[in-house]
């Protein structure tokens, strides 16, 4: 059964938002996040300090889609205020691996004694810091930050070896909580 459904998010003080041509732009100081929202049959507006999602004839799938995009907008507002931080740990048993950041890449050398360096791409507007055996990935966009952390973890994946014996790698140990 189709019904009218609307939901929204309060915009915290100090953050300015505008919705222009299917793009939600959130700004605070010099930090700016943009995201394109394409939801058929849903009207998105920014008014009275609130981001509103309205649908006149919503079914169960439309409501789920609106709530998903509401969570994306909430993550944008959280990311403009505070950076999201992913923490990874470098684990090596026998061969000491070296991890360093070079422009937009993370370079992993001497992984399991390999002579060829492994690389992981860093998304734009994401910072990666290596401190001892910890790697901190920070950024305002949760998707880009999470993808960078996943790229680093995937670059140190061991293929065709028993994970119980070859326990070397870079593993995600802490990630930000989800927005509600």
Partners of 17 in the β-ladder: 26
CA 82 to chain centre: 13
163 Ramachandran zone, left/alpha/beta (phi>0; psi -120 to 50): alpha
Which residues, 6+ apart, have CB-to-CB distance to 7 below 8 Å?
52, 53, 66, 67, 70
Would you call 44 helix, strand, or coil by DSSP?
Answer: strand
The per-residue pLDDT for 100 is 96
* Chain segment 141-152, per-residue pLDDT in tens: 999 999 999 999
The per-residue pLDDT for 178 is 62
**Highest CATH level, class, for 84-174:** alpha beta
* Chain segment 84-127, per-residue pLDDT in tens: 999 999 999 888 999 999 999 999 999 989 999 999 999 999 99
**End-to-end CA separation in angstroms for the chain:** 26
Topology, domain 3-81? Outer Surface Protein A; domain 3 (3.90.930)
- List every span in the chain annotated with CATH 3.90.930.12: 3-81, 84-174
Q: What is the pTM of this model?
A: 0.89
- The CA distance from 106 to 117, in Å, is 10
The per-residue pLDDT for 94 is 83
Helix (H) or strand (E) holding 78, with range, is: helix 60-81
* Chain segment 7-50, per-residue pLDDT in tens: 999 999 999 999 999 999 999 998 999 999 998 889 999 999 99
Whether the pLDDT of residue 179 is over 60: the answer is: no
The per-residue pLDDT for 37 is 94
- The CA distance from 20 to 37, in Å, is 10
């Amino acid at each position: 059964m189709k019904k009218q459904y609307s939901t929204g998010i309060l915009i915290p003080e100090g953050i300015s938002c505008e919705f222009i041509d299917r793009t939600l732009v959130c700004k605070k100081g010099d930090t700016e996040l943009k995201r394109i929202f394409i939801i058929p049959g849903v009207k998105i507006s920014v008014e009275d300090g609130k981001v509103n999602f309205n649908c006149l004839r919503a079914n169960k799938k439309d409501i789920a889609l609106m709530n998903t995009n509401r969570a994306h907008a909430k993550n944008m507002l959280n990311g403009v205020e505070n950076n999201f931080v992913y923490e990874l740990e470098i684990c090596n048993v026998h061969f000491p691996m070296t991890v360093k950041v070079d422009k937009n890449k993370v370079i992993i050398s001497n992984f399991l004694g390999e002579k060829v360096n492994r690389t992981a791409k860093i998304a734009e507007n994401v910072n990666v810091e290596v401190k001892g055996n910890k790697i901190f990935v920070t950024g305002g966009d949760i998707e880009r930050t999470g993808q960078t952390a996943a790229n680093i973890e995937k670059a140190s994946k061991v293929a065709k070896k028993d994970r119980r014996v070859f326990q070397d790698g870079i593993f995600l140990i802490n990630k930000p909580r989800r927005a509600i």
